[in-house]
Structure 1
Amino acid sequence: MTDQAAKAARFRALHERPEPFLLPNPWDAGTARLLAGLGFEALATTSLGVANLAGRTRVGRQEILDNCRTLSEATPLPVNADLENGFADDPVDAAKMIEAACASGVVGASIEDYTGDRRTPIYDFGLAVDRVRAAVEVARSLPLPFVLTARAENLLHGVNDLDDTIGRLQAFEEAGADVLYAPGLRTLADMRTVVSSVGKPVNVVMGFADPSITLEQLAEVGVRRVSIGGALSRIALKSFMDAARQMRGGRFGFVAELPPISELHEAFTRDE
């Protein structure tokens, strides 16, 4: 079994446990190594984090794939990829992104029903299902147990219709998706409703949820995977801006909170 296939098997097994696992989202090799050093079992890319890293609001297909390779090579952990909408509307063209991501080293990926057009943000139901079906077909053709996640993006883009969101997730499950994901769920009640409406593992992203919710509560409602999206990137940039504003004002109190350089060096060299 190749290293990537072994990672894929480990990643799939994490979804089969009765308790949820945490899936943090680094954006470069350094943050991936720091998270691995903290004992996380898997990692996920974040397209927002990649855009923040580039200093833009969006990044392109190749930048996403390059980041997939960077994170996959940074640690021994399995990596799941945020592939947005596959950078194509057509189901077959979008599904090609799954194969390209696998070639970049990841062992799982998500495909979403957000069009990228704010005027008509969500693909029509039939096209959204066809896109998932095409992505599943490609995922099943790969030489490893690739995990395909299907995302229903309604709640992030002004379509506050939980029934439609659940209907999409159910159709994505029927189309063969391994994991189901509706970013924007905020309450435990809504999370419980989604989990009880489908038969596949559900990912919840806490970057948009009630921050008082605990991992134990997520486990109680049946969530299997917990990610954070671009939240770690955003909080890192907030810390950077807060310190920079202090410096611009002629104050340097933030220096008292710096971690020892040796602590970072230890994290970065642990697996070398």
Structure 2
Amino acid sequence: MDDGERKSTRLRQIFSRKGQPVMHVASAPTAYAARMIEKAGFEYIFLGGDVTFGTMLAMPGTYLTMTEKVFIAKFFVRAVSLPVVMDCDEVCGRGPAFLERAVEEYIGIGLAGMDIDDRIFPEGSGAANVDREHGIRMGVVPTEEMVEKIRAASLIRQKLDPDFVIRVRCYDFHGDTPLEKIIERLQRYEEAGADVLYLGGVSSPEDTRTTVSALKVPCTVPATWMTYELASKLNLCEYRQPYELEMAMHAAGWEFLSDFQKNGTDAVRRLRERFLGNPYMAAPELLRTNVI
């Protein structure tokens, strides 16, 4: 990479490769985890409303303010040399002005791209007091409203960093909308300035193939039935399994805590034996055991 190359330019190139989807199997729960992802050889970092903000703060990213998210994102951008993308779910359901402000702030701190949702999130009493992202989907915003927001974000992007990537998530697949109508919605997103389209909830390879073939911009599909080989055949820009690192970290942590609560020192010994030689496990001789 040239020293003067923007991270947004590199991200755009990653998503534009034909027949070679980027391997994205881990969103970053923390800035230290982002460094692990970089060290492991992955190509970009994603800050998700659930994996990142739900894990760090035990509340959905939807209910954080833009100021809070920008403050946190700075640490991730500084921690790695990879492009960093952040979920812009704090502006879900809000007007174009909030998208314009988000693009200004995100580009200003060095982010390479952003995700914009067309979901409508719960706003009733108590909705912000859950630990993680809501599984409830209240529907999607009207197409024209979403197009106006994408267009506003794209115009600001063109002024500040033309390569800044706007990835738009469409969740209309979760409802009863016919596939041809969903494709029409996605084509409008594309015309408004979406650089990548995220097909949230598409249920089969056949529907994915039909949708992707009708679009010009790269597409990604977050599906448990997806494999890297299938993503390549479907001409997707990404193989996406974003929860796995977070689940591995917390599942291993819970396993150890349960064992330690029950067995004490034996649990510590088993932990050290299990991860002997792991670069993220300190050798016993390096532990500060003489601290009072």
Q: SS at 1:26's partner residue?
A: coil
Task: Give unmatched runs, 5+ long, in structure 1.
Answer: 266-272
Task: Give unmatched runs, 5+ long, in structure 2.
Answer: 123-135, 283-292
| Cα RMSD, aligned residues only | 2.6
Q: Which amino acid aligns with 2:50?
A: L
Shift of 1:162: 5.6
* Structure 1 residue 129 corresponds to structure 2 residue 129: no
Q: Which residue of 2 aligns with 1:243?
A: 256
Paired with 1:102 and 1:229, the residues of 2 have a C-alpha distance of 23
Q: Which residue of 2 aligns with 1:67?
A: 72
Kept in 2: contact 1:187–1:209 (CA 8 A) = no
TM-score scaled by structure 2? 0.78
Q: For 2:202, which of 166, 185, 210 is the aligned residue?
A: 185
Q: SS at 2:246's partner residue?
A: helix
Cα distance change on mapping 1:154 and 1:74 into 2, 3 Å: same
Q: Which residue of 2 aligns with 1:270?
A: none
Q: Which amino acid aligns with 1:6?
A: R
Task: Map residues 40-79 of structure 1 onto 2, 5 A cutoff.
Answer: 40-49=42-51, 50-58=53-61, 59-60=63-64, 61-79=66-84
* Structure 1 residue 143 corresponds to structure 2 residue 161: yes
Kept in 1: contact 2:190–2:217 (CA 8 A) = yes
Paired with 1:8 and 1:120, the residues of 2 have a C-alpha distance of 32
Paired with 1:35 and 1:119, the residues of 2 have a C-alpha distance of 30
Paired with 2:148 and 2:142, the residues of 1 have a C-alpha distance of 10
Q: Which residue of 1 aligns with 2:229?
A: 216
Shift of 1:132: 1.3
Q: Which residue of 1 aligns with 2:14?
A: 14
Q: Which amino acid aligns with 1:55?
A: A
Q: Which has the larger radius of gyration?
A: 2
* Structure 1 residue 92 corresponds to structure 2 residue 107: no
Cα distance change on mapping 1:39 and 1:203 into 2, 3 Å: same
Paired with 2:54 and 2:184, the residues of 1 have a C-alpha distance of 31
Shift of 1:186: 4.4
Report the count of equivalent residues.
Answer: 259
- Aligned-residue identity in percent: 22
Of residues 37-46 and 252-261 in structure 1, the stretch that sits farther from structure 2 once superposed is: 252-261
TM-score scaled by structure 1? 0.84
Cα distance change on mapping 1:88 and 1:225 into 2, 3 Å: same
Shift of 1:254: 4.4
